[in-house]
Structure 1
Amino acid sequence: MEEVGDVKRILAIDQSTSATKALLFTETGELLDKTAVSHQQIYPQPGWVEHDANEIYRNTLQAVATLLQRNEEKQDNLLCLSITNQRETVVVFDKATGKPLHNAIVWQCRRGEAICAELEAAGYGDLVQSKTGLKIDTYFPASKLTWLQNNHPNIKKKLEAGEALIGTIDAYLVYRLTNGRAFATDQTNASRTLLFDINTLGWDAELCQLFSVPQAALPEVRDSDAKFGETDLDGVLKRPLPIVGIMGDSQGALFAQRCFAPGSAKVTFGTGSSVMLNIGSEVAYSDKGIVTAVAWVVDSKPVYAFEGITNFTGATITWLRDQLGLIDSVEETEELAMAVSDNGGVYLVPAFVGLSAPYWQPNARAAIVGLTPASNKNHVVRAALEGIGFRIRDVLSLMATEAQVDLQTVHADGGAVSNGFLMQFVADMNQLQVHAAQTPELSALGAVFCGCLGLKIYTSLDDLKNLPSGYTAYSASMPPDRVSELVAGWKTAVQQVLCRSQNIF
C-alpha cells in the first residue's frame, strides 16, 4: 500500500467569474484542500462588466501561496499545475510586460451588441455558425475585441504593431505564470471566441478579418491534455511545475462527470449555468438556438458537445440577497421555497442581462410576473429557484430533441446542487433523474484529469471511468399534468418579457 507521504498531488487553479481558487487534489481526484480569493466586479455602465486582470493574476498567486502554506509538506509530491477558467472573458495585454492594456471584458458584458447586430444584418450568421458552431453574439469575445479597437486607438495600434497579445483568461495566466515563455490556450477555450474553426481546430483567417482581430496576436492552440510550459508561480513554489491540462470550466465539469459517451449530459450551476450534451466525434449543428463547442481534445481526438447557456443562476440568488434584501444567505432559499405549497402563480424570468439560449434576445430584461396581494417573499424566492429550473428545462429539452436523444439522466454540479428543492424541480420539469455530484469542484477536477492523462498517470478514459464518484439522485415525482401547467405559466411569463423587449404591447 502506498504511504501517505508518497501520494502524488496535483495543484489546480480555478479562475471563475467571481473568484480565483487554488486546489489540491490527489491523482485519484480526491480534493484535499482549497482556498479562494474574490475579485472585484466592475460595471462601468449598464450592461457592461469588467474584471481587473492584474488583480486576477495577483489573486492567483495569493490563493496558491495560502494553500501551500497550509500544505507545505506536500509540495515535494506535486506533479503538475492544471487550470480551469471562466470562458469567453478576454484580455488584451502588453507583449513585453504582460500587463493588461484594458480591464478584462467579461462574458456577461453586452458592449458588442451593435457590432453583432450589424454582422447579423449583413448575413454573416450562417458563415459564422458553420465555422464556429456558435451564434453571432456579444457573449463571445470577438465583437468585444472589435469594440476595443474601435474605441481605443492605442490598443489597435499596439495590436497592429505586434506589441500586444489577446488571450482568454487561461492564455493570459499561462503567459504571466511562465514569464512570457509560453502563450497558449486549449481548444475548449478557443472554440468559444467566434474566431476558431471547430472543423479544422485552428484560428480562422476569414473570421479574424471579419472581426478585425490580428490573428498573430492570438495564442497557440494545444490539446486539453498538453503541456503549457512551466512555472514557479513567481517564486511561490519551491521548484518549477509543468502546466499540464487546461479546460474551460464547463467542459471541465463535463469531463469530470465522466460524460464520455455520446448522449450523456450535465448541468453546471455557477454564476450562470451551462448545459452540455456529448454529441461524439463529429461536428453537428442546431438551428434552434443551441450552439456547438469542442468538449475536449484528448490524445489528439476531438469530442464535440451541444451547449446552452443561461446567464443568471447563482447570480439570481445573490441578487435576492444583495439588491432586494429578501434573504440573508443563499442557503436559506431552500427552506423559504418549501415554506409555501406552490409558487402562487408567481414567475421570475431571470433575464437580467438578456435571455440567451434558446431565445438569444439580448434586450430582454428580468421580470417578476403574477404578483397578487397574497404573494409574499417566500413566493418570490420560490419563483427565483423555479426560474432557474425552467431555464434549464428550456435548454435541456431542446437539446435532447436536436440531438435525437431520450435523456433519462442528467448529471449536475456546482454550488446549487446542495439545494434539494432546485434539484428536485429540475428532475420534475424534465421528467428524468438528476445525479447531483457529491464531489465538489468538478471544473477543476476535469482539468486535473486532463493533466493526469497528459502525464500518463492514466492512459485512457476507461481508467478515469473506474475512479470513484458519488452523487445524490433525484427522481421525477410530479404528475405530468402539473408539469404541463407550470411550464405553460412559465412560457406565458417569458412571452411577456420577450414582447416587452421588442416593444410589442
Structure 2
Amino acid sequence: MTSYICAIDQGTTGTTVIILDDTLEVVGRVNEEFEQIFPKPSWVEHDPEAIWRSTCSTIKAAVAQAGVRPEEIVAVGITNQRETTVVWDGKTGEAIHNAIVWQDRRTRGRIQQFADDGNEPMVRERSGLILDPYFSGTKIEWILDHVSGARRRAQKGELKFGTIDSFLLWRLTGGKVHATDVSNASRTLLMNLHTGEWDEDLLELFRVPRAMLPEIVGNAEVYGHVEGIEGLADGTPICGMAGDQQSALFGQVCYRPGEAKCTYGTGAFLLMNTGDKPVMSRHRLLSTAAWKIDGKMTYALEGSAFIAGALVQWLRDGLGFFETAAEIEELAGQVESSDGVVLIPSLAGLGAPHWNPGARGVIWGLTRGTTRAHIARAALEAIALQNVDLLKAMEHDLGEELKVLRVDGGASANGLLMQLQADFLNREIVRPKMTDTTALGAALLAGLGAGIFSDFNAISETWKEDARFKPAMSQQRRNMHLELWEEGLKRV
C-alpha cells in the first residue's frame, strides 16, 4: 500500500501544504495567504490565529485534493518562517500578542544598546549570530516588557515561547508537546551553537526566563502525534521539522560540505553546508545549525537578504506595476538593460554582509527616459546582485570557490532572474524539477523520521535537474553593474 507524507510549509506570506507519496510525487498542493500587519513603520506582525487557521484549512484542502484517506498519511513534517516569535498561554494556547515577524525592526534601539555595551563578541561566539533585530531574542524581551504581567507569568512557567514550528507542534498535538528543532533554536540568539542547548548567559543577557522555552530536539524523529486535526488521523506521527532555509538545503540534497543553495522567497537566503563544525565568518555571515540527525550535528554558513520576492510584491501592490508577480519577467524583458537605474531593496534594512537595520530603500539613476520596464529590470538585478555580496563573503570565509549554486523558491521560476544571477555571480545556476524544496525538505525529514527513507543516499537519488543557467555576460559589463551596485549601497 502506498504511504503518504504531509508537509506543512508555514511561510511569511502564507501557508502551503503538500501531500507526497513515498516516491516523492506530489499528489496534492494547496496554498493560502494571510494578512500582513504593519502597526507602525518597520513593525511587522502576524495574527497567530490566522496562521493556525491557514494551516488547518490547507491541510484539509490538500488531503482532499490528493484523494487519499487520512490513515494513509503516515508522517507529518513542518517547516516554517524562522525567527518569527510567538508567546502563548500554556493552558489556553492563546497568544498574548501578535507574532512579531522576522522582518520586524522595532527592537533596533535595544540591539544598539547591547552592541554599545560590548556584548557582540560573546553573542557571536556563543550563538554564531550577530546582534540584529532579525532574531528572536529581543522580540521575546519586547513582548514580555510590553504586555501587562507577561514577565511575571513567564517566570512562573505560565507562558510558552516558540518560533512557528514550536507553535504549530503545540497546536497539532493538542498542547501536549512544547519543542523546537535545533535549526530554529539556532536562530533565537539564545542557543549555544557548540552544545545545541539553551545558553544560560544568553538567556540572562536577553532577559528570557528559561521556564518559557521549548525543548530542543533533532530534525528527523518522532516529536508527538496529531490530535483533532481534520484531514489527518489521530496518532499520525509528526517526525520531521526544520526552519525553512535549512529545510530547503536538505531538500536540495546539499549533504556534503561545500554544497550550497539559494532560496528565493520573501527574502533570498544562501546557505552552504560546512560539515560537522561551525565556521565562524570573518565577513559577518551567520553560522547556524543545518540539522541534527541521529545525534550528529551538521552546520551551515548563511547569508540573508531580507527582501527578494517581497520587492516584486511591493512593485505589484505598492506601485501597481503589474497585476501578478509573474508579469515582472515580461515587463523587465522589454528593455535590454536597466539603463543605469539601480534599486537598493533595503525595505526592511540590509541583511548580510552589511547588517544595517536602519537602511532605507533607494532607486537611483533615474532620467526622463526611465520607464516601468527599466525599474522592473533594476529590481530583478537587485535581487541577483545582493547574492553576489553574499557569495563573495562565503567564498572568502571558506577559502574556495563555489562551482554550482542550486536554486529554488517561487522566484527561481523567473528565467530572466536566474540568467542574471548566473551572469552576476559568474557561476552556473541549477534549478531542480521541484522548486518547492522547502516543503520537500520537511517531507524528506519526516520520511527519515518515520523510516520511509533509509538514509541520505536513498534521498539523493530522487533529486532531478530541471534547468541550468550558464554565465553569458562579458566581464566588462559585469564589472559595470557591480560598480553601480556598490555606489548605490553608499546611498541607503
Normalised by the size of structure 1, how large is the TM-score?
Answer: 0.96
Separation in 2 of the partners of 1:70 and 1:270?
25
Match of 1:85?
Answer: 80
Which residue pairs with 1:229 in the alignment?
224
Task: State the alpha-carbon separation in 2 of the partners of residues 160 and 468 from structure 1.
Answer: 47
Alignment of 1:282-301 (within 5 A): 282-301=277-296
1:96-132 residue CA offsets vs partner (Å, 9 max, x unmatched): 0111011011000011111111011101101001011
Structure-1 residue corresponding to 2:343: 348
Instruction: Name the structure 2 match of 1:158.
Output: 153
Tell me which of 444, 450, 468 is aligned to 1:455.
Answer: 450
Letter in 2 for 1:458: F
Letter in 2 for 1:464: I
Q: State which of 83, 103, 106 in structure 1 corresponds to 2:101.
A: 106
The corresponding residue for 1:358 is 353
Alpha-carbon distance in 2 for matches of 1:153, 1:136: 26
- 2:307: which partner in 1? 312
Deviates more, 1:91-100 or 1:438-447: 438-447
Give the gaps of 5 or more residues in structure 1. Answer: 1-5, 498-505
Q: Tell me which residue corresponds to 2:59.
A: 64
Mapped partners of 2:463, 2:431: distance in 1: 15
* 1:95-494 alignment, distance < 5 Å: 95-494=90-489
Pairing 1:12-51 to 2, within 5 Å after superposition: 12-51=7-46
Q: Deviations over 1:125-154 (max 9, x none)?
A: 010010110001110010111112222232
Shift of 1:64: 0.9
User: For 1:238 and 1:128, how far apart are their aligned partners in 2?
Assistant: 43
- Distance (whole Å) between structure 2 residues aligned to residue 235 and residue 277 of structure 1: 38
Unaligned runs of 5+ in 2: none
Deviates more, 1:454-463 or 1:469-478: 454-463
2:15, 2:31 within 8 Å by CA — same for their partners in 1? yes
Cα distance in structure 2, aligned partners of 1:72 and 1:422: 36
Q: CA deviation at 1:413?
A: 0.1
Distance 1:177 1:460 in 2: 27
Other structure's SS at 1:147 match: helix
Q: Is the deviation greater in 333-342 or in 90-99? A: 333-342
- For residues 36 and 457 of structure 2, the distance between their equivalents in structure 1, rounded to whole angstroms, comes to 40
1:73 to 1:277, Cα distance in 2 relative to 1, 3 A: closer
Cα distance between partner residues in 2 of 1:277 and 1:73: 36
SS of equivalent to 2:263: strand
CA-to-aligned-CA distance 1:31-65 (integer Å, 9 cap, x gap): 21111221111111000000010111122111111
| Distance of 1:17 and 1:174 partners within structure 2 | 17
Question: Is 2:111–2:131's contact at 8 Å kept on the other side of the alignment?
Answer: yes
Secondary structure, in 3 states, of the residue corresponding to 1:14? strand
Query: 2:370 corresponds to which letter in structure 1?
Result: S
1:73 pairs with 60, 68, 74, which one? 68
**Greater CA drift, 21-30 or 11-20:** 21-30
The answer to whether the 8 Å contact 1:298/1:450 transfers is no
Partners of 1:73 and 1:439 in 2: CA distance: 21
Contact 1:21 1:37 in 2 (8 A): yes
Aligned-residue offset at 1:78: 1.1
Shift of 1:448: 1.1
Which range is displaced more, 453-462 or 286-295? 453-462
3-state SS in 2 of match to 1:48: coil
User: How many angstroms does 1:233 deviate by?
Assistant: 4.2
Contact kept? 1:433, 1:476, Cα under 8 Å: yes
Query: Counterpart of 1:349 in structure 2: which amino acid?
Result: I
Q: Secondary structure at the match of 1:496?
A: coil
Letter in structure 2 aligned against 1:55: A
Say if 1:257 and 1:416 are closer, same or farther in 2 by CA, change over 3 A: same
Instruction: Give the deviation of 1:235 after TM superposition.
Output: 4.5
Instruction: For 2:228 and 2:361, locate their aligned partners in 1 and report how far apart those are by CA, in whole Å.
Output: 42
Distance 1:21 1:338 in 2: 30
The CA deviation at 1:298 is 1.2
Structure 2 CA distance for aligned equivalents of residues 39 and 29 of structure 1: 28
RMSD over equivalenced CA pairs, Å:
1.2
What is the letter of the counterpart of residue 315 of structure 1? A
Deviation at 1:206, TM superposition (A): 0.7
- Counterpart residue type for residue 111 of structure 1: R
Q: What is the CA–CA distance in structure 2 between the aligned matches of 1:100 and 1:22, rounded to whole Å?
A: 23
Q: Deviations over 1:377-412 (max 9, x none)?
A: 110000001010111111112111111121110000
Deviation at 1:71, TM superposition (A): 3.4
CA contact (8 A) 1:61 1:233 kept: no
- Give 1:363's aligned amino acid: G
Does the 8 Å CA contact 2:226/2:233 hold for their aligned counterparts? no
Q: Give, as a single letter, the amino acid of the residue that structure 2 aligns with 1:143.
A: T
Deviation at 1:239, TM superposition (A): 3.4
Summarize deviations over 1:366-386 as a string: whole Å, max 9, x none: 010000111111100000010
SS in 1 for 2:274: strand
Cα drift, residue 337 of structure 1: 1.4
CA deviation string 1:9-39 (max 9, x = no partner): 1011111001111210122322211112211
**Aligned pairs, how many?**
492
| Alignment partners' CA distance in 1, 2:122 and 2:357 | 21
In the superposition, the TM-score normalised over structure 2's length comes to 0.98
Q: In the alignment, residue 286 of structure 2 is paired with which amino acid? A: V
Q: Is the 8 A contact 2:82 2:102 kept in 1?
A: yes
Deviations 1:317-338 (A, max 9, x none): 0111111111222112112212
C-alpha distance in 1 between matches for 2:137 and 2:417: 34
